[in-house]
């Protein structure tokens, strides 16, 4: 759930409690504490999601760098194979 969704749910719960008129001060304080806990939980979840996103972006950059290195190595190997083939053909032609 997003932070905004949690806020909306908390606001609806608080409004419902106030509209019914049977919420005591203690119940209201408990509800406010629950809302604060929900906000803290949503903040922690958002922080964890941001950390996961950063980790994924780092992994993506590393994977791209590895792919580039592998492509360069393949190109070098292909070039070397061509040189070896030419050398072999020259030696066989003699």
pLDDT digits (tens, 9 = 90+) for 5-28: 777 777 777 777 666 665 578 888
Going from N- to C-terminal start, the domains of the chain cover 3-93
What is the separation of C-alpha 38 from the centre of its chain, rounded to a whole number of angstroms?
A: 22
The predicted model scores a pTM of: 0.53
Provide the 3-class DSSP secondary structure of residue 37: helix
Q: What is the pLDDT of residues 56-82, one digit of tens each?
A: 999 999 999 999 999 999 999 999 999
Q: What are phi and psi of 42, to 5 degrees?
A: -70, -35
Whole-angstrom distance, CA of residue 31 vs CA of residue 25: 10
């Amino acid at each position: 759930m997003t932070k905004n969704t949690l806020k909306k749910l908390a606001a609806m719960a608080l409004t419902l409690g106030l509209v019914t008129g049977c919420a005591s001060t203690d119940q209201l304080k408990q509800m406010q504490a629950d809302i604060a806990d929900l906000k803290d939980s949503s903040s922690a979840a958002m922080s964890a999601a941001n950390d996961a996103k950063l980790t994924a972006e780092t992994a993506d950059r590393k994977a791209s760098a590895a792919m580039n290195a592998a492509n360069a190595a393949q190109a070098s190997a292909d070039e070397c194979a061509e040189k070896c083939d030419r050398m072999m053909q020259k030696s066989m032609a003699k």
